[in-house]
Chains A and B, each alone.
Chain A
Amino acid sequence: MEKFTTHTGIGVPLRQSNVDTDQIIPAVYLKRITRTGFEDALFAAWRKDPSFILNQEPFNAGSVLVAGPDFGTGSSREHAVWALKDYGFKAVLSSRFADIFRGNSGKQGLLAAELAQDDIELIWKVLENAPGTEVKVDLVSKTVECGNVVAPFEIDDYTRWRLLEGLDDIGLTLRHEEDITAYEATRPSFKPKTLPARIQ
């Protein structure tokens, strides 16, 4: 995973709550077996509407999405994070993220920064009054800057550390393989195994 320290890019105001992952990437695009190449799938249904924000310049070149509360609800599809990244987004700002989406973002180096809704509203106003304004997201100081707005954001320390260091999760866990093996030896024998298969 690439290290993330700061990013500065055009902010995209998405004035909508409950943006579920079916909207971020419709199910029809989940049939692919690759991990990249999902840029065409991002907000595919909404992008058919010419007035959708990503169909307008300069927002189409945006890299910081500023969304309403409860972003990323619904399906666990990590494809939603892949699509945002493939399109060019580096960070999403919202006052509340769905747990699974936030987890998936952290694994893939997309920064999910949680801001107070009042600060989101202030940033929306800046971006709507002056389209093309850049947003600076600083993971070191946990702050966002946009025009005259400077706001703190929340992210859990462990995810922040992993993003700053660009660490691979599996590699980290396998450092403790002895602990896993020791735990396995203590599991009760009545716990089920899938193999050998028993069927009715």
Chain B
Amino acid sequence: MGKTLAEKVWDAHVVRKGEGEGANAQPDLLFIDLHLVHEVTSPQAFEGLRLAGRRLRRPDLTIATEDHNTPTLDIDKPIADLTSRTQIQTLRNNCQEFGVRLHSLGDAEQGIVHVVGPQLGLTQPGMTVVCGDSHTSTHGAFGALAMGIGTSEVEHVMATQTLSLKPFKTMAINVEGTLRPGVSAKDIILAVIAKIGTGGGQGYVLEYRGSAIRALSMDARMTICNMSIEAGARAGLVAPDQTTYDYMHGRPHAPQGEEWDAAVEYWNTLHTDDDATFDVEVDLDADTLEPFVTWGTNPAQGISLNEAVPFPEDFGDENAKLAAERALQYMGLEAGTPMKDIRVDTVFLGSCTNSRIEDLRAAADVIRGREKDPKVRMLVVPGSARVRLEAEAEGLDKVFKEFGAEWRFAGCSMCLGMNPDQLEPGERCASTSNRNFEGRQGKGGRTHLVSPVVAAATAVRGTLSSPSDLEPASVSASTTTDAA
């Protein structure tokens, strides 16, 4: 019988097969091709190596950057927050001591770890990629098996370049059809999570398939794979194709010459065989999908933007009903309110989910020639210093600044509020990030997860909106492109 893509990548990395069969099987020992490191989940791992007198086995398969704590303003000054400054200095010291390549604040390759890997060409099809960050699933967009791990596992990878892993079950997410204008990758993944729930993917590797996925760019595929973890999945991936190769070709660490040809020959084998079976299959219709938005405090609490805040009593399950009641109270929402009547204070365009160049272009296309609602503040935080430079070369920074948005330096920023970019208690935000958990963007902050184009349209109207709700732009409306 044939194999799924995930099984092929898995099998190609088994260093040592676990003994036993079925439920009693020992885990397999898997080789890790790329280990991404950042300042938050690594200090205790480096310390563990030091205490045990162990070396970091493969510095040449390891790369670090600074992202979670970094300020997005005044990056040339010492970091004001002393604990953040200490944590970043600790990363710098550790990387020097253990010989790890580091892209620090101010460096053109610094940025969110999941933006940096792909843009350098270090993320490639068929690889195993890990990082002490749950959104490592992002790299699955290249047909890599990419997983978030905890700090003990970070230390394990540093010491051995392997991980002990139990085989996963496989789930196909089939998305067929054509997205309508104004509907994008973010809406696909929010709809998937709403459909299968925050625990629906637990124990599974998801493979996104179907004509709607094949039509997506790499940036869009990364948005989808990024949020696999919000459905509880350990990883999510997309089979590589010409779109993947076109994205990779010429990137600094992409193979060159004969190596490129050998790589492509291998990558072409990385697809699920026709006679392979998935443990579970889920279907989503792209033709009828609408822009999606969350109303609650977990990413599965989402609905179409055209709908209204749901009534808790409509949830059959008692736990889901209690969760909905609690979420509405935290969010300060009344059941039955149309989502499009909800006013926001802040719009955040950024995070490892939606901070790549295409995300910025799509949002800029919506706001170009339009005015921001004066009561709304908008933060635009490119995913990496390289994305920022690219956007500036295209003049996107001017579009955002003229609109009245703040154009910031790269980092995780308001996605998780570890740096000064945070919501105030009660402040409501339309955010292109990945988590609407209580307090995630700042204590008491209220988050609605949306796509870049919905974020942009919301900044114009001040209420949750899709681009189709906007009046025609005053100038250069003809240059507005389809953001899907």
Answer yes or no: A174 CB below 8 A from chain B CBs: yes
Contact with A along B216-249 (1 / 0, CB 8 A): 0000000000000110101000000000000000
Total contacts A to B, CB within 8 angstroms? 224
Contact A76 B435 (CB under 8 A): no
Closest chain-A Cβ to B46's Cβ sits at a distance in Å of: 9
Contact B149 A103 (CB under 8 A): yes
Could you say which residues of chain B place their CB within 8 Å of the CB of A170?
52, 54, 155-156, 159-160
Could you say which residues of chain B place their CB within 8 Å of the CB of A74?
134, 229-230, 435, 437
Answer yes or no: A56 CB below 8 A from chain B CBs: no
Contacting residue for B202 out of A34, A99, A108, A195, CB 8 A: A99
| Known contacts A76-B132, A194-B61; is-contact A156 B166 (Cβ 8 Å) | yes
Contact with A along B16-30 (1 / 0, CB 8 A): 101000011011010
Contact A191 B150 (CB under 8 A): no
List the A residue with the shortest CB-CB distance to B18: A158
Contact with A along B53-97 (1 / 0, CB 8 A): 010010111110000110000000000010110110010000000
| Known contacts A33-B86, A179-B15; is-contact A70 B232 (Cβ 8 Å) | yes
List the B residue with the shortest CB-CB distance to A98: B232
Contacting residue for B44 out of A26, A35, A174, A177, CB 8 A: A35
Contact A22 B109 (CB under 8 A): no
| Known contacts A30-B418, A100-B149, A108-B152; is-contact A191 B127 (Cβ 8 Å) | yes
| Known contacts A184-B31, A194-B60, A195-B60; is-contact A99 B439 (Cβ 8 Å) | no
Could you say which residues of chain A place their CB within 8 Å of the CB of B260?
190
Chain A CB count within 10 A is highest, among B132, B197, B229, for B229
Contact A190 B259 (CB under 8 A): yes
Could you say which residues of chain B place their CB within 8 Å of the CB of A172?
164
| Known contacts A69-B319, A170-B159, A190-B255; is-contact A27 B24 (Cβ 8 Å) | no
Answer yes or no: A75 CB below 8 A from chain B CBs: yes
List the B residue with the shortest CB-CB distance to A105: B150
| Known contacts A17-B323, A157-B24, A197-B101; is-contact A30 B40 (Cβ 8 Å) | yes
Contact A193 B255 (CB under 8 A): no
| Known contacts A15-B322, A23-B437, A100-B134; is-contact A192 B34 (Cβ 8 Å) | yes
A152 to B316, CA, bound (A): 27
Answer yes or no: B108 CB below 8 A from chain A CBs: yes
Answer yes or no: A60 CB below 8 A from chain B CBs: no
Contact A99 B232 (CB under 8 A): yes
Stretch binding the partner chain, chosen from B117-125, B279-287, B396-404, B475-483: B117-125
Could you say which residues of chain A place their CB within 8 Å of the CB of B177?
none
Answer yes or no: A145 CB below 8 A from chain B CBs: no
Could you say which residues of chain B place their CB within 8 Å of the CB of A78?
41, 44, 132, 150-152
List the B residue with the shortest CB-CB distance to A189: B259
Answer yes or no: B170 CB below 8 A from chain A CBs: no
A194 to B148, CA, bound (A): 19
Contact B152 A169 (CB under 8 A): yes
| Known contacts A75-B134, A76-B132, A191-B127; is-contact A28 B15 (Cβ 8 Å) | no
Could you say which residues of chain A place their CB within 8 Å of the CB of B440?
22, 27
| Known contacts A27-B416, A78-B41; is-contact A169 B150 (Cβ 8 Å) | no
Closest chain-B Cβ to A188's Cβ sits at a distance in Å of: 7
List the B residue with the shortest CB-CB distance to A1: B152
Contact A198 B160 (CB under 8 A): no
Closest chain-A Cβ to B261's Cβ sits at a distance in Å of: 9
Closest chain-B Cβ to A67's Cβ sits at a distance in Å of: 11
Contact B101 A191 (CB under 8 A): no
Answer yes or no: B196 CB below 8 A from chain A CBs: no
Could you say which residues of chain A place their CB within 8 Å of the CB of B90?
33
A173 to B198, CA, bound (A): 32
Contact with B along A60-80 (1 / 0, CB 8 A): 000000001110011111110
A32 to B31, CA, bound (A): 30
Could you say which residues of chain A place their CB within 8 Å of the CB of B254?
192
Contact A32 B259 (CB under 8 A): no
Which residue numbers of A lie inside 8 Å of B, CB to CB? 15-18, 20, 22-23, 26-28, 30-35, 45, 68-70, 73-79, 81, 96-100, 103-104, 107-108, 156-158, 169-170, 172-174, 176-177, 179-180, 183-184, 187-195, 197-200
Which residue numbers of B lie inside 8 Å of A, CB to CB? 15-16, 18, 23-24, 26-27, 29, 31, 33-34, 40-41, 43-44, 47-48, 52, 54, 57, 59-63, 68-69, 81, 83-84, 86-87, 90, 101, 108-109, 120-122, 124, 127, 132-134, 148-153, 155-156, 159-162, 164, 166, 197-199, 202-203, 229-230, 232, 234, 251-255, 259-260, 262-263, 266, 297-298, 319-320, 322-323, 326, 386, 416-418, 435, 437-440, 443
The 7 closest A-B pairs by CB, nearest first: A107-B152, A104-B150, A78-B150, A33-B43, A198-B252, A190-B263, A31-B83
